[in-house]
Every structure is written in structure tokens, then in C-alpha cells.
Structure 1
Amino acid sequence: MKVAVIDINGKETGRKADLSDAVFGIEPNDHAVYLDVKQYLANQRQGTHKAKERAEIAGSTRKIKKQKGTGTARAGSIKSPIFKGGGRIFGPRPRSYSFKLNKNLKRLARRSALSIKANDKAITVIEDFTFDTVKTKNFTAVLKSLGLENKKSLFVLAESNKNVYLSSRNLKSSEVITSSELSTYKILNANNVVLLESSLKGIETNLSK
């Protein structure tokens, strides 16, 4: 698949990038995509929720009223879940929501996500760029040139670039990552995926294993 390479001003450079069909042109596997996104979201959960159960409530252990003759149901403890201030029945406990996935399945999911974006013509390839200083307006100017100022965008670099990353950090609708940080969720969550020319080799190498 051939895609025109443009510069940060939105103009064509005259070059074309070759997107591998093995990564950007496969038949998407919806179930693999579902599992990879599910794992990503599960890993974001802290799992620190906790409610006190009956045995953890501080309070008297005496029997609060006699067993018979009151005309009401018997009750043996003020810490019972049926009373205000009592413990919670089967309350949440700290736990990990993470689960494992096969590496090949995760690669398939990411290839599927990139293929979906490529099929929707939501992938843009631009030539490599950097900024001399950290300025949000520099990154905003790039977004405007590419017509992405009002859209969610994901910029994929070949390697970490501090100035580009910090210039984008204040913008909620844009995210800058390296090719090794690419995930199915981030690809699908963006309206447009912007690939720097030098990142293509890393993406194809990582996802073709």
C-alpha cells in the first residue's frame, strides 16, 4: 500500500511510503482486538476498592436483645449487615484485574487495528520533524496544518523526542508515543494515526515477528 508522505505544513513531499500489507492490509480479527482492548482497560484499574465486612467492624459483641418474646426477628450482633453501621455482605476486596494474553494474539490485534485505520484512510505519514524548544503552539500549528486541530490524534515516533512530547502534553486530544508503545486501544481511540516516516520500520519489525 502506497501512501503519500507530507511535511508538517501539510504539503506533499513527492515521496511515497510503502505500508506493508502484512501489517496494514490484513483482514481484521475482531475478537483479538476485543481481547487486547479489554486487557488494556483492565490494566488501568487500580483494584484498591475495599469495604468492611462483618468481622472487620468495630463494635460491641454483646447480644443486643433477648432471643424470644420481643415480637421481632432475633438479632445477635450490632455488626450484622442488616443494621445501619454494620458490615457489608460480600463487599469488594483489593484485587488485580489484569490477565495474560498470548504475544502473537496481541500482535494480531495491533495489525488488525492498523488495518482498520488504513481501510478508513485514517493513517497519515509525515516526514520526521522536531522542535528546537518546548512550545505547545508549535505542536498546535502542526495539527492545524494537518487538519487535526479538532480531532483525536495519535503521533507515532521512531524514538523518544522530549521537545515534541512535551509540546503536545497539554493537548488532551493529541498523544505522542514511540512505535514500541503502540497499543490496540490507542490506535482505535484516535480519529487519525500520524506515523512519522522513520517509525514505519520499527512498527513493521515489531508486528511482523
Structure 2
Amino acid sequence: MTLIDVYNLRKEKISETELKDEIFSVPVKEHVLHEVVVSQVNRRRAGTAACKSRSLVNASTRKLYRQKGTGRARAGSASSPTRRGGGVAFGPQPRAYVKKVSKKVRKAALRMALSDKLTGSQLFIVEDFSLPEIKTKSFVGVMRRFDVTKALIVTADKNEKLEKSSRNVPWVKVLRSEGLNVYDLLKFDHLFLEKPAIDRIEEALIS
């Protein structure tokens, strides 16, 4: 078990909590993180790029001119890729870019990303992220107290005041514990965890 300080929104230490070593203190393997991030990014690709091949171009199939005697190269149809308005040779077609990664590997990568944040002193545990009102200025003030400029905040449940106060701040992202992912953990420099979210994360990653 690893002991870590728990803060309030004024960055005052109010208690300590334990983090399970099998989640927050595991060896980090870069190739595993890379594999999961590539899989995650690929899933976001639409894969809808397409163009017309010669079989899809709406053109006459009549032979353009006779085969011999004209002094020109032979030509079969107007849809040939070598002619203007013809089809595209070897052009893109709709496809899926999905790269499958097993659930076991995804969980291992999440544990590694969380361990990296703890090792690098980039993890803050907050007792409760309840803001008194929906106000961006107040939220930015909280972030300034912790001296962070690029942060991921993970909450246990829906927090409307926090989500609305932070949505116009481009360097902050708010997620609920069930949406925690490797890409966002690596993208943002600092990680804030609500204390109630820790139990849910540990439960999901141990099972």
C-alpha cells in the first residue's frame, strides 16, 4: 500500500489515503501503452474516405475509336484511369482501422499509466470536487492553487457544476471514473482523482 495526501479545493491537506500497489505501483512498459493508444486512436477514425474506380464511373463502355490505323495509342473506354474524368487507380475505399487489443492488455496499460502519474508526482487526490457555483473563474482559481496548466479530472459521479465550469477551459478535461482511458492519462500532464473514484477504479482494474 502507498500512502498519499488528500487535499481540499484550497490545496490544504486534510487526510491521507492508501493506494493499492497492484494498481498504482506497477512497472511501466512503453510498448504496451503504445499498443493501446494506437488502438484507441484508430477507433476514432471514420474510415469513410472513398473514390470511384473505373467500374464505378458513369461513362460509356463503347470503344472510343478504332484499334489500328489512327497513329494514337489504343483506348478501350472513357473510364480508364489514364483519361480525364476516368476512375482512380488503387484509390481509397471504406475500411475499418480497428486494431483489437484484449481486455487484459487494456487493464494493464491503465495500471501502468496510473503508476506513471504517481511516480512522477503528477497525481492529486481531492476529497470532493464540489464547487459552490457554476463559474469558470472560480474553477480556474482552484487549478491555479495546484499550479497546473494541463489536467485531467476524474470524478466518481456526474458533477454538473464542475463539468459546466470547466467546459470552456481548453487545458482541462473532466471524466467520470468509468470513462478513464490510457490516451487521456498520457495526454494530460496532471491527474486529479476524487477520493470516492479511487475505489471504483481499483475495483474495475483488479477484477
| TM-score, normalised with respect to structure 1 | 0.92
The answer on whether the counterparts of 1:29 and 1:108 sit within 8 Å (CA) in structure 2 is: no
1:132 to partner: Cα distance: 4.0
The alignment partner of 2:125 has SS state of: strand
- Output aligned runs, 1:109-124, within 5 Å: 109-124=109-124
What residue number does 1:77 align with? 77
Unaligned runs of 5+ in 1: none
The equivalent position to 2:185 in structure 1, one of 184, 187, 194, is 187
> CA offset at residue 54 of structure 1?
0.7
- The residue that corresponds to 1:174 in the other structure is 172
SS at match of 2:55: helix
| 3-state SS, counterpart of residue 58 of structure 2 | coil
Structure 1 Cα separation of the partners of residues 124 and 70 of structure 2: 77
In 2, Cα distance between the equivalents of 1:17 and 1:73? 80
Query: Matches of 2:72 and 2:8 in 1, distance apart?
Result: 80
Root-mean-square deviation (Å): 1.5
Residue pairs, 1:82-101, within 5 angstroms? 82-101=82-101
For residues 115-167 of structure 1, give each alpha carbon's deviation from its aligned partner in whole angstroms, at most 9, with x where no partner exists.
Answer: 1111111111112121343222222121111112xx22100101121221121
TM superposition score normalised by structure 2? 0.93
Matched, 1:161 2:162: no
| Counterparts of 1:71 and 1:4, CA distance in 2 | 86
CA distance in 2, matches of 1:38, 1:90: 25
Counterpart Cα distance in 1 of 2:121 and 2:71: 74
Counterpart residue number, 2:146: 146
The share of aligned pairs that are identical, in percent, is 34
- Tell me the distance in 2 between the aligned counterparts of 1:133 and 1:96: 44
Q: Which amino acid aligns with 1:25?
A: S
Task: Structure 2: give runs of 5+ residues left out of the alignment.
Answer: none
CA distance in 2, matches of 1:34, 1:194: 23
1:54 is paired with a residue whose SS is: coil
